[in-house]
A and B are shown apart, each in its own frame.
Chain A
Protein backbone atom coordinates (compact mmCIF):
# COMPACT_ATOMS: atom_id res chain seq x y z
CA UNK A 1 0.00 0.00 0.00
CA UNK A 2 1.57 3.30 -0.94
CA UNK A 3 0.86 6.96 -0.51
CA UNK A 4 -0.88 7.18 -3.87
CA UNK A 5 -3.76 5.21 -2.41
CA UNK A 6 -4.44 8.03 -0.01
CA UNK A 7 -3.99 10.89 -2.41
CA UNK A 8 -4.89 9.73 -5.90
CA UNK A 9 -8.09 10.57 -7.69
CA UNK A 10 -8.84 6.88 -8.29
CA UNK A 11 -12.19 5.25 -7.76
CA UNK A 12 -10.96 4.02 -4.40
CA UNK A 13 -11.68 7.46 -2.97
CA UNK A 14 -15.40 7.37 -3.68
CA UNK A 15 -16.36 6.12 -0.25
CA UNK A 16 -14.03 8.54 1.48
CA UNK A 17 -15.41 11.46 -0.53
CA UNK A 18 -18.94 10.39 0.28
CA UNK A 19 -18.13 10.41 3.98
CA UNK A 20 -16.47 13.81 3.94
CA UNK A 21 -19.42 15.12 1.95
CA UNK A 22 -21.77 13.88 4.64
CA UNK A 23 -19.63 15.61 7.25
CA UNK A 24 -19.76 18.86 5.28
CA UNK A 25 -23.52 18.62 4.76
CA UNK A 26 -24.00 18.12 8.48
CA UNK A 27 -21.81 21.12 9.26
CA UNK A 28 -23.66 23.13 6.61
CA UNK A 29 -27.01 22.34 8.19
CA UNK A 30 -25.73 23.41 11.62
CA UNK A 31 -24.36 26.66 10.25
CA UNK A 32 -27.53 27.56 8.40
CA UNK A 33 -29.43 27.37 11.64
CA UNK A 34 -27.02 29.22 13.85
CA UNK A 35 -24.32 31.46 12.29
CA UNK A 36 -25.38 35.11 12.13
CA UNK A 37 -22.09 36.45 10.75
CA UNK A 38 -20.98 38.39 13.84
CA UNK A 39 -17.36 37.70 12.79
CA UNK A 40 -16.15 37.10 16.32
CA UNK A 41 -14.25 34.13 14.86
CA UNK A 42 -12.38 36.37 12.44
CA UNK A 43 -11.59 38.99 15.07
CA UNK A 44 -9.59 36.43 17.06
CA UNK A 45 -8.25 34.36 14.16
CA UNK A 46 -4.49 33.70 14.40
CA UNK A 47 -4.22 33.42 10.62
CA UNK A 48 -6.29 36.52 9.89
CA UNK A 49 -3.80 39.35 10.22
CA UNK A 50 -0.93 37.49 8.64
CA UNK A 51 -2.61 35.38 5.97
CA UNK A 52 -6.03 36.99 5.48
CA UNK A 53 -8.07 33.98 6.53
CA UNK A 54 -11.60 35.09 7.40
CA UNK A 55 -13.42 32.22 9.12
CA UNK A 56 -16.81 33.98 9.05
CA UNK A 57 -16.55 34.13 5.26
CA UNK A 58 -15.64 30.45 5.13
CA UNK A 59 -18.84 29.81 7.06
CA UNK A 60 -20.84 32.07 4.71
CA UNK A 61 -19.45 30.33 1.63
CA UNK A 62 -20.19 26.92 3.11
CA UNK A 63 -23.73 28.05 3.83
CA UNK A 64 -24.11 28.90 0.14
CA UNK A 65 -22.63 25.58 -0.90
CA UNK A 66 -19.51 26.98 -2.61
CA UNK A 67 -17.48 23.94 -1.59
CA UNK A 68 -15.57 23.43 -4.85
CA UNK A 69 -14.42 27.04 -4.87
CA UNK A 70 -12.98 26.65 -1.39
CA UNK A 71 -11.27 23.30 -1.85
CA UNK A 72 -9.53 24.76 -4.89
CA UNK A 73 -8.26 27.71 -2.89
CA UNK A 74 -5.02 27.89 -0.91
CA UNK A 75 -6.69 29.90 1.80
CA UNK A 76 -8.06 26.81 3.57
CA UNK A 77 -4.45 25.73 4.22
CA UNK A 78 -3.64 28.92 6.17
CA UNK A 79 -5.66 27.87 9.25
CA UNK A 80 -3.36 27.36 12.27
CA UNK A 81 -5.94 25.22 14.08
CA UNK A 82 -5.65 27.34 17.23
CA UNK A 83 -9.33 26.60 17.96
CA UNK A 84 -10.09 30.16 19.07
CA UNK A 85 -13.02 30.34 16.62
CA UNK A 86 -14.54 27.14 17.98
CA UNK A 87 -14.01 28.25 21.58
CA UNK A 88 -15.43 31.75 21.18
CA UNK A 89 -18.37 31.37 18.79
CA UNK A 90 -21.51 32.56 20.61
CA UNK A 91 -23.55 30.13 18.52
CA UNK A 92 -21.27 27.11 18.91
CA UNK A 93 -20.34 27.01 15.23
CA UNK A 94 -16.82 25.70 14.62
CA UNK A 95 -15.19 27.22 11.52
CA UNK A 96 -12.00 25.28 12.29
CA UNK A 97 -13.87 21.98 11.87
CA UNK A 98 -15.30 23.16 8.53
CA UNK A 99 -11.75 23.96 7.44
CA UNK A 100 -10.54 20.48 8.44
CA UNK A 101 -13.37 18.91 6.44
CA UNK A 102 -12.57 21.13 3.43
CA UNK A 103 -8.88 20.22 3.57
CA UNK A 104 -9.75 16.51 3.84
CA UNK A 105 -12.00 16.93 0.83
CA UNK A 106 -9.28 18.68 -1.14
CA UNK A 107 -6.96 15.74 -0.49
CA UNK A 108 -9.63 13.13 -1.25
CA UNK A 109 -10.45 14.72 -4.59
CA UNK A 110 -6.83 14.57 -5.64
CA UNK A 111 -5.75 18.17 -5.10
CA UNK A 112 -2.07 18.47 -4.38
CA UNK A 113 -1.22 18.23 -0.69
CA UNK A 114 0.87 21.31 0.13
CA UNK A 115 4.33 21.40 1.68
CA UNK A 116 5.63 18.71 3.97
CA UNK A 117 2.34 16.95 4.64
CA UNK A 118 3.15 14.27 2.08
CA UNK A 119 6.48 13.49 3.75
CA UNK A 120 4.83 13.39 7.18
CA UNK A 121 2.11 11.06 5.92
CA UNK A 122 4.66 8.82 4.27
CA UNK A 123 6.68 8.65 7.48
CA UNK A 124 3.67 7.76 9.66
CA UNK A 125 2.54 5.09 7.20
CA UNK A 126 5.95 3.47 6.93
CA UNK A 127 7.35 3.77 10.48
CA UNK A 128 4.39 4.81 12.63
CA UNK A 129 6.15 8.00 13.70
CA UNK A 130 6.09 11.50 12.22
CA UNK A 131 9.82 11.71 11.67
CA UNK A 132 13.10 9.84 12.10
CA UNK A 133 14.96 9.94 15.40
CA UNK A 134 17.36 12.89 15.19
CA UNK A 135 20.69 13.49 16.84
CA UNK A 136 21.02 16.94 18.38
CA UNK A 137 23.84 19.37 19.10
CA UNK A 138 24.73 20.73 22.51
CA UNK A 139 25.81 24.33 23.10
CA UNK A 140 29.47 23.32 22.74
CA UNK A 141 28.71 21.58 19.44
CA UNK A 142 28.78 17.98 20.59
CA UNK A 143 26.42 15.64 18.76
CA UNK A 144 24.18 13.59 21.02
CA UNK A 145 21.83 10.71 20.35
CA UNK A 146 19.03 9.41 22.57
CA UNK A 147 21.29 6.77 24.08
CA UNK A 148 24.14 9.29 24.65
CA UNK A 149 21.68 11.21 26.79
CA UNK A 150 20.68 8.10 28.71
CA UNK A 151 17.18 7.98 27.29
CA UNK A 152 15.52 4.57 26.81
CA UNK A 153 14.70 3.13 23.43
CA UNK A 154 11.91 4.99 21.67
CA UNK A 155 8.37 3.56 21.73
CA UNK A 156 7.25 2.76 18.18
CA UNK A 157 5.08 0.18 16.43
CA UNK A 158 6.70 -3.24 16.63
CA UNK A 159 5.15 -4.32 13.33
CA UNK A 160 4.83 -1.25 11.07
CA UNK A 161 3.52 -3.33 8.16
CA UNK A 162 0.55 -4.46 10.23
CA UNK A 163 -0.13 -0.90 11.35
CA UNK A 164 0.04 0.30 7.77
CA UNK A 165 -2.43 -2.39 6.77
CA UNK A 166 -4.83 -1.00 9.35
CA UNK A 167 -4.28 2.63 8.38
CA UNK A 168 -4.55 2.20 4.65
CA UNK A 169 -7.98 0.64 5.19
CA UNK A 170 -9.20 4.02 6.36
CA UNK A 171 -8.51 5.80 3.13
CA UNK A 172 -9.35 2.95 0.80
CA UNK A 173 -11.68 1.13 3.09
CA UNK A 174 -14.28 -0.15 0.69
CA UNK A 175 -12.17 -0.87 -2.38
Chain B
Protein backbone atom coordinates (compact mmCIF):
# COMPACT_ATOMS: atom_id res chain seq x y z
CA UNK B 1 0.00 0.00 0.00
CA UNK B 2 1.46 3.28 -1.11
CA UNK B 3 0.01 6.74 -0.52
CA UNK B 4 1.04 10.34 -0.96
CA UNK B 5 0.94 11.86 2.52
CA UNK B 6 -0.96 15.13 2.28
CA UNK B 7 -0.08 16.77 5.62
CA UNK B 8 -2.15 19.97 5.34
CA UNK B 9 -1.17 22.90 7.59
CA UNK B 10 -2.06 22.34 11.23
CA UNK B 11 -0.44 18.91 11.63
CA UNK B 12 2.97 19.76 10.11
CA UNK B 13 3.23 23.23 11.70
CA UNK B 14 2.25 22.38 15.28
CA UNK B 15 0.52 19.04 15.87
CA UNK B 16 3.70 17.01 15.65
CA UNK B 17 2.44 14.17 17.87
CA UNK B 18 -0.03 13.15 15.16
CA UNK B 19 2.61 13.24 12.42
CA UNK B 20 5.18 11.38 14.54
CA UNK B 21 2.75 8.62 15.48
CA UNK B 22 1.50 8.27 11.89
CA UNK B 23 5.03 7.92 10.57
CA UNK B 24 5.82 5.32 13.27
CA UNK B 25 2.68 3.23 13.15
CA UNK B 26 1.55 3.05 9.51
CA UNK B 27 4.81 1.63 8.07
CA UNK B 28 4.50 -1.21 10.62
CA UNK B 29 1.18 -2.01 8.95
CA UNK B 30 2.79 -2.13 5.48
CA UNK B 31 1.68 1.35 4.49
CA UNK B 32 4.31 3.25 2.55
CA UNK B 33 3.98 7.03 2.95
CA UNK B 34 5.45 9.14 0.17
CA UNK B 35 6.42 12.75 0.88
CA UNK B 36 5.81 15.05 -2.06
CA UNK B 37 7.12 18.58 -2.36
CA UNK B 38 4.90 21.55 -3.17
CA UNK B 39 1.61 20.92 -1.34
CA UNK B 40 -0.26 23.94 0.04
CA UNK B 41 -3.18 24.63 2.38
CA UNK B 42 -6.37 22.76 1.37
CA UNK B 43 -8.30 26.03 1.60
CA UNK B 44 -11.02 24.79 3.96
CA UNK B 45 -10.38 27.34 6.75
CA UNK B 46 -10.92 30.11 4.18
CA UNK B 47 -14.19 28.79 2.80
CA UNK B 48 -16.09 31.51 4.69
CA UNK B 49 -13.99 34.14 2.94
CA UNK B 50 -14.01 32.82 -0.61
CA UNK B 51 -15.29 29.41 -1.63
CA UNK B 52 -13.63 29.51 -5.04
CA UNK B 53 -10.29 29.98 -3.35
CA UNK B 54 -10.93 26.82 -1.32
CA UNK B 55 -11.92 24.87 -4.40
CA UNK B 56 -8.83 25.92 -6.33
CA UNK B 57 -6.44 25.14 -3.50
CA UNK B 58 -7.95 21.69 -3.01
CA UNK B 59 -7.83 20.93 -6.72
CA UNK B 60 -4.23 22.07 -6.82
CA UNK B 61 -3.20 19.62 -4.12
CA UNK B 62 -5.10 16.74 -5.70
CA UNK B 63 -3.45 17.57 -9.03
CA UNK B 64 0.02 17.44 -7.46
CA UNK B 65 -0.64 13.93 -6.13
CA UNK B 66 -2.18 12.82 -9.44
CA UNK B 67 0.93 13.94 -11.24
CA UNK B 68 2.89 11.39 -9.19
CA UNK B 69 0.25 8.75 -9.89
CA UNK B 70 -0.49 8.29 -6.21
CA UNK B 71 -3.64 8.05 -4.10
CA UNK B 72 -3.82 10.58 -1.28
CA UNK B 73 -3.75 9.91 2.45
CA UNK B 74 -5.00 12.97 4.32
CA UNK B 75 -4.81 12.58 8.13
CA UNK B 76 -6.70 15.82 8.79
CA UNK B 77 -10.53 15.61 8.53
CA UNK B 78 -10.75 19.27 7.47
CA UNK B 79 -8.39 18.67 4.55
CA UNK B 80 -10.03 15.33 3.81
CA UNK B 81 -13.41 17.03 3.66
CA UNK B 82 -12.16 19.82 1.44
CA UNK B 83 -10.41 17.48 -0.99
CA UNK B 84 -13.43 15.18 -1.10
CA UNK B 85 -15.84 18.04 -1.70
CA UNK B 86 -13.56 19.34 -4.44
CA UNK B 87 -13.61 15.90 -6.10
CA UNK B 88 -17.39 15.77 -5.69
CA UNK B 89 -17.86 19.16 -7.34
CA UNK B 90 -15.31 18.84 -10.15
CA UNK B 91 -16.16 15.24 -11.08
CA UNK B 92 -19.78 16.28 -11.54
CA UNK B 93 -19.28 19.66 -13.20
CA UNK B 94 -17.18 19.75 -16.35
CA UNK B 95 -17.39 23.54 -16.68
CA UNK B 96 -16.05 24.07 -13.20
CA UNK B 97 -13.30 21.52 -13.80
CA UNK B 98 -12.22 23.36 -16.96
CA UNK B 99 -12.30 26.67 -15.18
CA UNK B 100 -10.20 25.44 -12.27
CA UNK B 101 -7.77 23.71 -14.62
CA UNK B 102 -7.25 26.91 -16.58
CA UNK B 103 -6.08 28.47 -13.31
CA UNK B 104 -3.89 25.53 -12.36
CA UNK B 105 -2.20 25.65 -15.76
CA UNK B 106 0.10 28.47 -14.63
CA UNK B 107 1.75 25.97 -12.29
CA UNK B 108 1.69 23.31 -14.97
CA UNK B 109 -0.92 21.30 -13.09
CA UNK B 110 -4.18 19.72 -14.12
CA UNK B 111 -6.91 17.95 -12.15
CA UNK B 112 -8.31 14.82 -13.77
CA UNK B 113 -9.99 13.02 -10.89
CA UNK B 114 -8.01 9.79 -11.13
CA UNK B 115 -6.79 9.52 -7.54
CA UNK B 116 -8.42 8.06 -4.43
CA UNK B 117 -8.57 9.72 -1.04
CA UNK B 118 -8.14 8.15 2.41
CA UNK B 119 -8.22 9.26 6.05
CA UNK B 120 -6.58 7.55 9.05
CA UNK B 121 -9.82 5.89 10.14
CA UNK B 122 -10.79 4.20 6.87
CA UNK B 123 -7.17 3.36 6.12
CA UNK B 124 -6.96 1.48 9.42
CA UNK B 125 -10.43 -0.03 9.43
CA UNK B 126 -11.24 -0.68 5.76
CA UNK B 127 -7.87 -1.12 4.06
CA UNK B 128 -5.60 -2.62 6.73
CA UNK B 129 -8.39 -4.21 8.74
CA UNK B 130 -8.98 -5.00 12.38
CA UNK B 131 -7.62 -8.57 12.13
CA UNK B 132 -4.28 -7.37 10.79
CA UNK B 133 -4.06 -4.72 13.53
CA UNK B 134 -4.72 -7.37 16.20
CA UNK B 135 -1.64 -9.30 15.04
CA UNK B 136 0.63 -6.40 15.97
CA UNK B 137 -0.69 -5.82 19.50
CA UNK B 138 1.99 -6.51 22.11
CA UNK B 139 0.69 -4.46 25.04
CA UNK B 140 -3.11 -4.58 25.05
CA UNK B 141 -4.74 -1.41 26.39
CA UNK B 142 -6.40 -3.27 29.23
CA UNK B 143 -10.02 -2.15 29.53
CA UNK B 144 -9.13 1.47 29.07
CA UNK B 145 -12.47 3.30 29.09
CA UNK B 146 -12.35 5.57 26.05
CA UNK B 147 -14.49 8.34 24.58
CA UNK B 148 -14.02 8.71 20.82
CA UNK B 149 -14.26 11.97 18.93
CA UNK B 150 -14.32 11.81 15.12
CA UNK B 151 -14.63 15.48 14.21
CA UNK B 152 -17.57 16.96 12.29
CA UNK B 153 -15.80 17.21 8.95
CA UNK B 154 -15.00 13.50 8.98
CA UNK B 155 -18.58 12.33 9.47
CA UNK B 156 -20.71 14.76 7.48
CA UNK B 157 -22.17 15.37 4.95
CA UNK B 158 -22.54 11.77 3.76
CA UNK B 159 -23.84 13.08 0.44
CA UNK B 160 -20.28 13.82 -0.75
CA UNK B 161 -18.90 10.55 0.65
CA UNK B 162 -17.45 10.39 4.13
CA UNK B 163 -15.37 7.53 5.58
CA UNK B 164 -17.71 6.80 8.52
CA UNK B 165 -21.44 6.66 9.28
CA UNK B 166 -22.86 10.10 9.95
CA UNK B 167 -25.07 9.34 12.96
CA UNK B 168 -23.36 6.32 14.51
CA UNK B 169 -19.68 6.18 13.57
CA UNK B 170 -18.08 2.94 14.84
CA UNK B 171 -14.81 2.42 12.93
CA UNK B 172 -12.57 3.95 15.60
CA UNK B 173 -14.38 1.84 18.19
CA UNK B 174 -13.65 -1.33 16.22
CA UNK B 175 -9.95 -0.47 16.03
CA UNK B 176 -9.80 0.36 19.75
CA UNK B 177 -11.49 -2.92 20.69
CA UNK B 178 -8.80 -4.70 18.67
CA UNK B 179 -6.24 -2.97 20.89
CA UNK B 180 -7.97 -4.32 24.00
CA UNK B 181 -9.54 -1.02 25.00
CA UNK B 182 -13.13 -0.35 25.95
CA UNK B 183 -14.66 2.46 23.87
CA UNK B 184 -18.09 3.44 25.18
CA UNK B 185 -20.94 5.54 23.87
CA UNK B 186 -21.69 8.91 25.42
CA UNK B 187 -24.52 11.29 24.46
CA UNK B 188 -22.16 14.12 23.47
CA UNK B 189 -20.19 11.95 21.04
CA UNK B 190 -21.21 13.88 17.92
CA UNK B 191 -20.75 17.34 19.44
CA UNK B 192 -18.44 19.83 17.73
CA UNK B 193 -15.07 20.80 19.29
CA UNK B 194 -15.62 24.49 18.55
CA UNK B 195 -12.46 24.99 16.47
CA UNK B 196 -14.13 26.39 13.31
CA UNK B 197 -15.06 29.64 15.10
CA UNK B 198 -11.75 30.00 16.95
CA UNK B 199 -10.72 32.58 14.34
CA UNK B 200 -13.51 35.03 15.15
CA UNK B 201 -15.23 33.95 18.39
CA UNK B 202 -12.49 32.42 20.57
CA UNK B 203 -14.47 32.58 23.81
CA UNK B 204 -17.48 30.68 22.46
CA UNK B 205 -15.21 28.30 20.65
CA UNK B 206 -13.48 27.32 23.91
CA UNK B 207 -16.84 27.00 25.66
CA UNK B 208 -17.83 24.28 23.15
CA UNK B 209 -14.55 22.52 23.90
CA UNK B 210 -15.05 22.83 27.64
CA UNK B 211 -18.62 21.55 27.55
CA UNK B 212 -17.66 18.38 25.73
CA UNK B 213 -14.63 17.69 27.91
CA UNK B 214 -16.63 18.27 31.06
CA UNK B 215 -19.28 15.81 29.91
CA UNK B 216 -16.56 13.22 29.29
CA UNK B 217 -14.97 13.85 32.67
CA UNK B 218 -18.33 13.60 34.45
CA UNK B 219 -18.91 10.20 32.85
CA UNK B 220 -15.63 8.85 34.26
CA UNK B 221 -13.84 8.12 31.03
CA UNK B 222 -10.12 7.34 31.30
CA UNK B 223 -9.25 9.23 28.14
CA UNK B 224 -10.50 10.79 24.94
CA UNK B 225 -9.32 9.66 21.50
CA UNK B 226 -9.34 11.82 18.38
CA UNK B 227 -8.11 11.79 14.77
CA UNK B 228 -8.15 15.50 13.91
CA UNK B 229 -5.36 18.04 14.50
CA UNK B 230 -7.91 20.86 14.84
CA UNK B 231 -9.99 19.03 17.44
CA UNK B 232 -6.85 17.88 19.25
CA UNK B 233 -5.57 21.45 19.35
CA UNK B 234 -8.78 22.32 21.22
CA UNK B 235 -9.20 19.30 23.51
CA UNK B 236 -5.53 18.76 24.35
CA UNK B 237 -3.56 21.97 23.84
CA UNK B 238 -6.30 24.30 25.09
CA UNK B 239 -7.84 22.05 27.76
CA UNK B 240 -6.97 24.26 30.73
CA UNK B 241 -8.36 27.38 29.05
CA UNK B 242 -11.45 25.45 27.96
CA UNK B 243 -11.94 24.42 31.59
CA UNK B 244 -11.98 28.07 32.65
CA UNK B 245 -14.91 28.79 30.33
CA UNK B 246 -17.06 26.16 32.03
CA UNK B 247 -15.62 26.74 35.53
CA UNK B 248 -14.25 23.22 35.80
CA UNK B 249 -10.85 21.69 36.49
CA UNK B 250 -10.43 19.45 33.48
CA UNK B 251 -7.97 16.57 33.67
CA UNK B 252 -8.81 14.36 30.73
CA UNK B 253 -5.95 12.71 28.85
CA UNK B 254 -6.46 13.28 25.11
CA UNK B 255 -4.59 11.13 22.60
CA UNK B 256 -4.48 10.59 18.88
CA UNK B 257 -5.74 7.19 17.75
CA UNK B 258 -2.34 6.58 16.13
CA UNK B 259 -0.60 7.24 19.47
CA UNK B 260 -2.72 4.56 21.15
CA UNK B 261 -2.00 2.15 18.29
CA UNK B 262 1.72 2.78 18.76
CA UNK B 263 1.55 2.19 22.50
CA UNK B 264 -0.35 -1.06 21.98
CA UNK B 265 2.24 -2.10 19.38
CA UNK B 266 4.97 -1.59 21.99
CA UNK B 267 6.52 1.49 20.39
CA UNK B 268 8.35 3.77 22.83
CA UNK B 269 6.24 6.75 23.89
CA UNK B 270 8.94 9.28 22.94
CA UNK B 271 8.68 8.11 19.34
CA UNK B 272 4.92 8.71 19.42
CA UNK B 273 5.26 12.29 20.62
CA UNK B 274 3.51 11.53 23.91
CA UNK B 275 5.57 14.18 25.72
CA UNK B 276 4.01 16.76 23.39
CA UNK B 277 0.46 16.14 24.61
CA UNK B 278 -0.43 18.94 27.03
CA UNK B 279 -3.28 17.02 28.67
CA UNK B 280 -2.36 14.69 31.58
CA UNK B 281 -1.58 11.57 29.51
CA UNK B 282 0.95 10.35 32.10
CA UNK B 283 -1.79 9.35 34.50
CA UNK B 284 -2.70 6.50 32.15
CA UNK B 285 0.67 4.84 32.85
CA UNK B 286 1.06 3.64 29.29
CA UNK B 287 4.30 2.76 27.52
Contacts and interface: CB of A to CB of B under 8 A. Distances in A.
Chain A interface extent, by class: 35 or more
Scoring A16, A84, A87, A155 by chain B CB atoms within 10 A of each residue's CB, the highest score goes to A155
Contacts of B43: 124
Given A117-B46, A155-B36, A134 B13 contact: yes
25 contacts: A47-B197, A50-B207, A51-B201, A79-B197, A81-B48, A82-B192, A84-B190, A86-B156, A100-B47, A103-B49, A104-B49, A116-B199, A120-B45, A120-B46, A130-B10, A131-B13, A133-B12, A149-B16, A151-B16, A156-B40, A158-B37, A159-B107, A162-B106, A162-B107, A169-B103
A114 B14 CA distance: 24
B222 to A, nearest CB: 19
B201 A115 contact: yes
A151 B153 CA distance: 26
B114 interface: no
B51 interface: yes
Interface stretch (B52-60, B130-138, B172-180, B247-255): B52-60
A156 B38 CA distance: 5
A69 interface: no
Nearest to B281: A139
Contact of A154 (B12, B158, B196): B12
Interface string A117-128: 100110010001
Interface in A96-114: 100-101, 103-104, 107-108, 113-114
A155 B37 contact: yes
A151 B35 CA distance: 11
Contacts of A169: 103
